[in-house]
Amino acid sequence: MRKQPAISVAMGRAFPIRSKISEILITIILIILALAVILPLLLPFMFVFKTRLEYNYHPWSWPTEIRWINFVEAWRAIQIGQGLLNTFYVCLGAIVCTVPAAAMAGYIFARYRSKVTEVIFYFILAGYFVPVQMVLIPLYQLCGLLNITDTLPGLFLPMTAFGIPFWTIIYRSFFAGLPNELAEAARIDGAGHTNIFVRIMLPLAKPATVLATLLVFMGAWSDYLLSLIMINSAKNYTMQLRIAQFMNQYGVDHMPRYAAATIIAAAPTVILYIFGHRWIIQGTLAGALKG
Amino acid sequence: MVNKNAKAYSMIPEQFRIKKKRDWNALVFKAALLAPAILFLVVFMYYPIEETFRLSMTRSTGLGPTVFIGFQNYVRLFQSEEFLMGLKNVLLWAFWSVVIQIPFSFFIAFSLSVFKNRITKPLRVIYYLANVLPSAITAMLGRFVFAPRHGVIPSLANKFNWQWLARIDFLGNPDLAFWSIFTVATWAYCGFYIIYLMANIEQIPKDIQESAQLDGATPWQYARFIVLPMTSYALRIVSILCIVGSMKIFDLPWLMTSGGPGYATSTLGIVLYKNGFVNWQYGRAAAIGVVIFLLSLFFTIIQFSLQRKEGDVL
Amino acid sequence: MLKSKKAVFMALLLVVAMLVGVFSATAASKFKLVVWGRDLPDDDPAHAYIKALVNGFAAKNPDIELEYLALGDPGLMDKTKVAMANNRDLPHIFQSWGGSVMGGYADAGRLYDLTKELKDIPGSAAAQQAMTWKGKIYGVAPFFAIAGVFVNEDVFAKYNLEVPTTIAEMEKVADTLLANGIQPFAVGARDKWPVLAMYMYFVNRFGGMEAFDNAQARKARFDSEPMVKAAELYQEWSKRGYFGPTPLGEAYGDAQQLMATGKAGMHVTGSWMCAQYADPSFTDQKIGFYPFPVLEGGKGKATDFMGQTDIGFAATRMARENKEAVVRFMKYAMSVEACSAELGRICSVPGVKAPNRLTEMASAAFTKAEAIQFWWDQDLPPTVTSPLTDTLQQFLLPNANVKRLLTNYEMVVEENVGPAK
C-alpha cells in the first residue's frame, strides 16, 4: 500500500458513521484529555502570585494580590535570556551547516547516480542509525582535540553530523522526484553543473529546504544531552541547561518561585508554537512520512 | 605551441570534446558537493565510532594510561547491577510504551478523525504542544506535579485531607518512580503518535468510508475491521520508532530522579553518562555505547524488513 | 535575480566560516584570570562570601580581568573531573575541597605547587592540611565545615526534650517527636549525598575512625561489621518513619524547608546550613547546632568529627601563566575583608568574627574536634564515589538488603581501587 504525503491531507468533512450520543461522549473525553495536556502549563499561574508561606498554608486559594516578585526572582535565578540567545545561535549554526551540506549531497545522489555515489550514499545512510549516545565519549574527546569544547560550535557541529544523513535522504528523494526537462533545457542552453544546481534545482527544492530548516531548528532547540556534556561555562549555557541548573539549585520547596520559573521556561516554546503550529505539525508529518 | 594544441583539439569530433570536458567538471562538481557531508560524517561520526569500539576494549580513565583489556568491560557490565537495571528499565520502557502509549494514541487519533466537529478539530494542536516542549521543561513540569509535599498532587491531597495520597512518594518509591516518569513521558510523547496516526487514518479513501456506512457499521466496527488493518503498517512503524527511542531515553529520568532511588529509574543513557562523565570510566562508558548501538541496530533492522515487505513509503 | 540566488548561497557558506571563526579568535588585552566555582555570586545568603570575593577582587585588581564561572553543584565537580582528565580547558583556579580528590589531580601533574607562597598565610591548621598533598600546598581553604545535628530548640522545649548525647537518647527523642506528629529528621535523600553525613557518624560511632580509614586504605572491606551495623540502624530508623513518609522523593531543599517550618525536629548535615537556619527570613524557628551523639559501647568518640573544607581554592598547572595574579586571588580569598562577608560558615582565618549564634555553636564544636574525617564522597577516588552515594541512598528503602548492597559496593571498590588485604 502506498501512502501519500500527509502534507496534502485535506481536512475533509466529518465521517458520517456516528451517533449523536457517542459523539458527545467522545468529544467530552477528548476535551478532558486536552485539558490534561495544558493543565500542567496553566496551574503554575495559580501559585505564582503567592508568597512562599501563603502557598504553604493555602495553595489552592485564589491569589489575594498580584505579586510580581516571584517572576523577578525566578528571572534572576534562571537567567534564561542569555540561554535563549545561545540556543538560537546553536539552532542557526545547525541549520546553516546541515541544510546546504545535505542539499548538495542529496542532489548528487539523485542526479549523478553511479556506482561510486551509491557506495557513498550508503556510507552516509548508515549514519542515520547511529545514536549520539554511542559516541558520546569519543565525541567529547574529539571536541577537546579540536578545541571546541565549551563553545557553541562544539554543539552544532556534532549535531550537524548527526542530522546530515536524514536530510540527505529527504533531499535525495525530493530531487529524484523533480522533472528532468528543466535541467536538460538549461544544459542545452550551456548552463554548467553549478548553475543548474543553484539556479534551477535548488529553487525547485524549496519545500524540502523549508522543511529541513524548520525541523533542524526544532531538533537543536530541544537538545539537552550534548549541551550537558559539551558546555562548561555559564555564559555558554543553552536554554535547556539554564532550566536544568535552576531545577538543581532551587527546588520545588519554594513553589511560587518554581512556578514562575516554569512559566518563564515554557513561554518561548509555547509562543513559537502558537505562531507556528501549522507549519510545525505539517513539517513533522512530512518528515515522518518520508523518513 | 598553444596554437598547435588548439588546432589539434579542434580536430577532435565535437561530441567527444564536450563530453570529455564535462566529465572532468562533473567530477570536481560531485566531489565539491559531497565533500561537506562526507567531511562532517567522517570527523564527527565515523572517527568517534571507531574510537568507541577501541575505547570499549580498554581501561581508560583519562588521567592514567589506557590499557587494552579485551572484552572485560562487557563482561563486567553484565555483572553490574546498575547496568542490568538500566537495560531492564529500557526494555520495560519500550514494552510499556508500545502497549500503552500507542493504543492510547490510536484511540485519540481515530476519535479525532471520525468525530470531527467544531470542538474536536482544534484539539490536535493542543495534543501536539506537549511534544514540542524541550525535555528540561517537561521534566520541570513533572517535578512540579509529582514532587512530594510541595508538588501539585501532594498539595491537592492535603487540601482534601487524603493522607494516604499525600504519603505516596511518586518519585522516591522505587516501584512508582518509573511509572511517574513514564506518565510524564506519555504526556509528552503521545502528541506525535496522535498526529502521525491521524494523518494515516485520514488517507483512507472516502469510498471505503462510504461503503462502510452503507453497510451500517458502527464506529467500533469501522475501527476494528477497516481502520486498524489499513493503518497496521503505520502502527508498526510508530512502534519501532518508539522502541528505538526508548533505547536512548535519558533526559526525563535524569532530570526528574537522577536514575534513583538506587538504580530504580536508571536507563542505559544514564549509566553511560555516570560512568563516562562522573566516574571517569571511559572504557566502560564506551562499552555501554556499543550496547545501545547494537540494540538500536537490532530494532532498526526489523523496521527495515517491515518496510521492504510493504514497499517504499513515498 | 539568478545572481542574487548565487550570492545568497555564497553568503551562507561565508556565515558558516564566520561562525567557526568568531569563536576561535579571542581578543587579548589584560590578563584574564579564570576561576571555576560552585555558587553564583548573587544575593542568596549562602553565597555572600563568594559575592564579596568576586566583586571585591575585581574592584581591587583593575589590572586583572576576573572570569568567575559558577558551575553549580554536580556541575563543578563533573566539569573539573572532565577537564582534568582531558588536560585541557583548565581554569587557573578551581574551587576544591582538597583531600585525595585534589591529591589525584596533583599526582597527575595537573596542579601547581604554591607551597612557598601560601604556607605563611594565617589560617587554621586543619584548613591548611586539607589543601596539602604529599607535603605540597596547592591552595587555600578559607572555610571549613563539620557535620552535626541541627536541632529545633522551640520544638524540643515544647515537648520537654533534651538534646541527645547518646544514640539511645536520640531514638527516644525521635519517638517522642514522631508521637507528636513531628518528623524526627529532615534528610532530602533524592539528591543522594545528603544521606552521607549521618551514615558517616553511624559508622564512626560503631567502629571508630579506623572503620572507614582502613576500608579506604584497603585494609578492610566496605561490608565490614561496623559498616553493615550502621546501615542496618539507618534502615531501621527509616522503617520507623524517622525520616518521614517521602524521604527519597525530597531534595535537599525540601529537607531545609521541613526544618525551616518546624515540621522536622532535627537535621544531621554540614555546618554550611548555619547561615540559612539563622536567617529570620528563611525560618521563624529557633535552631541550634550540636555535636552528633555517641553510641554507648561503640568505638567512636564525641571528639571525632566529620567534616572538610567548605570553600577552598586550588591552582591548576595553568597558574604558571601568571603566578602572581593567582596568589593575589588566593590571598584575597583568605583576607579578613572577604571572609567577614560570610553569614554562616566556620572561618579558618583568625580575626573573623562568627556572624551569628549558630555559627558560633558550630565553631565551638569545631574547636573541640580532635580528629576529623573528610567527606567520603570527596575523599574516595572519583571512580567509586557515585556508586557510594547510590548505595547509601538505598538504605532508606525498607526492603533493601543492606548487607548485599555493601558487598556490591565492595566489589566496585575492589575492581577500581584494589582488593582489601
Q: Is B260–C393 a contact, with Cβ atoms under 8 angstroms apart?
A: yes
Residue B234 to residue B293: CA distance in whole angstroms: 24
Same structural domain for residues C123 and C268? no
pLDDT of residue B1: 41
Same structural domain for residues C168 and C125? no
Q: Find which of B38, B108, B111, B200 to mutate to test the A interface (most A CBs within 10 Å of its CB).
A: B111
pLDDT digits over C215-267, tens only? 998 999 999 999 999 999 999 999 999 999 889 988 888 898 889 889 999 99
Residue C23, judged by CB atoms within 10 A of its CB (0-12, 13-18, 19+), counts as middle
pLDDT of residue C318: 92
Per the CB < 8 A criterion, the answer to whether C259 and C283 are in contact is: yes
Q: Is B117–A23 a contact, with Cβ atoms under 8 angstroms apart?
A: yes
**How far apart are the CA of C186 and the nearest CA of chain A, in angstroms?**
13
| pLDDT score of C8 more than 70 | no
Does A152 lie at the interface with C, CB-CB under 8 angstroms?
A: yes
- Domain that includes residue C65, residue range: 31-144+309-356
CA B238 to chain centre: 10
pLDDT digits over A73-116, tens only? 888 888 888 899 999 999 999 999 999 999 999 999 998 888 89
| pLDDT score of B9 more than 70 | no
Residue ranges of domains in chain A, CATH in brackets: 74-290 (1.10.3720.10)
pLDDT digits over A8-67, tens only? 333 334 445 557 788 888 889 999 999 999 999 998 888 888 887 778 777 788 877 788
Does C253 lie at the interface with A, CB-CB under 8 angstroms?
A: yes
Instruction: Identify the H or E element spanning C95.
Output: strand C93-95
Residue B123 to residue C75: CA distance in whole angstroms: 40
CA A81 to chain centre: 19
Q: Which residues pair with C288 in a beta bridge?
A: C151
Does A19 lie at the interface with C, CB-CB under 8 angstroms?
A: no
Q: Is C19–A96 a contact, with Cβ atoms under 8 angstroms apart?
A: yes
Same structural domain for residues C49 and C82? yes
pLDDT band for position C25 (cuts 50, 70, 90): very low
Please report all neighbours of A, defined by 3+ CB atom pairs within 8 A. Answer: B, C
In a domain, C72, yes or no: yes
Least confident of B254-258, C68-72, C201-205: C68-72
pLDDT digits over C162-199, tens only? 999 999 999 999 999 999 999 999 998 988 999 999 99
Handedness of CA A134, A138, A141, A142 (dihedral sign): negative
CA distances from C172 to A162, C167, C236, C292, C295 (A): 60, 9, 14, 15, 14
Same structural domain for residues C132 and C159? no
Same structural domain for residues C256 and C218? yes
Calculate the dihedral angle through the C-alpha atoms of B153, B157, B162, B163, rounding to the nearest 10 degrees: 80
pLDDT band for position C115 (cuts 50, 70, 90): very high
CA distances from C407 to A162, C225, C388, C391 (A): 42, 11, 12, 10
pLDDT of residue C11: 54
For chain C, the average pLDDT equals: 87
In a domain, C22, yes or no: no
Chain B residue numbers with beta carbons less than 8 Å from the beta carbon of A164 are 37, 40-41
User: Which domain CATH number covers C337?
Assistant: 3.40.190.10
Same structural domain for residues C337 and C241? no
Same structural domain for residues C344 and C280? no
Q: How many helices (H) and strands (E) does chain B have?
A: 18, 2
- The residue in chain A having the minimum alpha-carbon distance to the alpha carbon of residue C258 is A253
Q: What percent of chain C has pLDDT over 70?
A: 92
Residue B206 to residue B218: CA distance in whole angstroms: 16
Q: Is B41–A161 a contact, with Cβ atoms under 8 angstroms apart?
A: yes
Pick from C2, C15, C261: which is nearest to A56 by CB? Answer: C261
In a domain, C150, yes or no: yes
- Tell me the residue type at A62: W
> Among residues 273-302 of chain B, which lie with CB inside 8 Å of chain A?
273, 276-277, 282, 285-286, 289-290, 292-293, 296-297, 300
Same structural domain for residues C50 and C122? yes
In a domain, C342, yes or no: yes
Q: Is B279–C383 a contact, with Cβ atoms under 8 angstroms apart?
A: yes
For chain B, the average pLDDT equals: 85
pLDDT of residue B260: 78
Does C21 lie at the interface with A, CB-CB under 8 angstroms?
A: no
DSSP B262-274: TTTT--HHHHHHI
User: Is A254 in a helix, a strand, or coil?
Assistant: coil
Q: What percent of chain B has pLDDT over 90?
A: 43
pLDDT of residue A92: 96
Residue A196 to residue B29: CA distance in whole angstroms: 11
DSSP C321: G
Pick from C9, C42, C79: which is nearest to A198 by CB? Answer: C9
Pick from A1, A136, A160: which is nearest to B233 by CB? Answer: A1
**Do β-strands C136-137 and C31-37 pair in parallel, antiparallel, or remain unpaired?**
unpaired
pLDDT of residue A26: 87
Residue A143 to residue A236: CA distance in whole angstroms: 15
Rounded to whole angstroms, the maximal C-alpha distance in chain C is 92
Per the CB < 8 A criterion, the answer to whether C271 and C345 are in contact is: yes
Per the CB < 8 A criterion, the answer to whether A130 and B73 are in contact is: no
Q: Is C70–A100 a contact, with Cβ atoms under 8 angstroms apart?
A: no
pLDDT digits over B30-72, tens only? 899 999 999 999 999 999 999 999 999 988 776 667 788 888 8
Q: Is B149–C246 a contact, with Cβ atoms under 8 angstroms apart?
A: yes
Q: Is A137–B219 a contact, with Cβ atoms under 8 angstroms apart?
A: no
Pick from B81, B150, B281: which is nearest to C408 by CB? Answer: B81
Calculate the dihedral angle through the C-alpha atoms of A149, A151, A153, A158, rounding to the nearest 10 degrees: 30
If you average pLDDT over residues C112-133, what whole number do you get?
87
User: Is C37 in a helix, a strand, or coil?
Assistant: strand
Does B49 lie at the interface with A, CB-CB under 8 angstroms?
A: yes
Does B212 lie at the interface with A, CB-CB under 8 angstroms?
A: yes
pLDDT of residue C16: 54
Residue C266 to residue A276: CA distance in whole angstroms: 52
> Among residues 174-193 of chain B, which lie with CB inside 8 Å of chain A?
187, 191-192
ipTM of the complex: 0.85
- Tell me the residue type at B254: W
Pick from B171, B279, B281: which is nearest to C249 by CB? Answer: B171
Same structural domain for residues C41 and C92? yes
Q: 3-class secondary structure for A160-200?
A: HHHHHHHHHHHHHHHHHCCCCHHHHHHHHCCCCHHHHHHHH
**How far apart are the CA of C44 and the nearest CA of chain A, in angstroms?**
10
Nearest partner of C17 among A166, B43, A88, A100, judged by Cα: A100
Does A250 lie at the interface with C, CB-CB under 8 angstroms?
A: yes
In a domain, C368, yes or no: no
pLDDT of residue C77: 78
Tell me the CATH architecture of domain B77-310. Orthogonal Bundle (1.10)
Residue C234 to residue C398: CA distance in whole angstroms: 10
CA distances from A93 to A40, A87, A207, A236, B185 (A): 32, 10, 20, 14, 29
pLDDT of residue C330: 94
Residue C299 to residue B274: CA distance in whole angstroms: 36
Residue A136 to residue A144: CA distance in whole angstroms: 12
pLDDT digits over C278-317, tens only? 888 888 899 999 999 999 989 999 989 999 888 999 999 9
CA C356 to chain centre: 21
In a domain, C369, yes or no: no
Domain count, chain C: 2
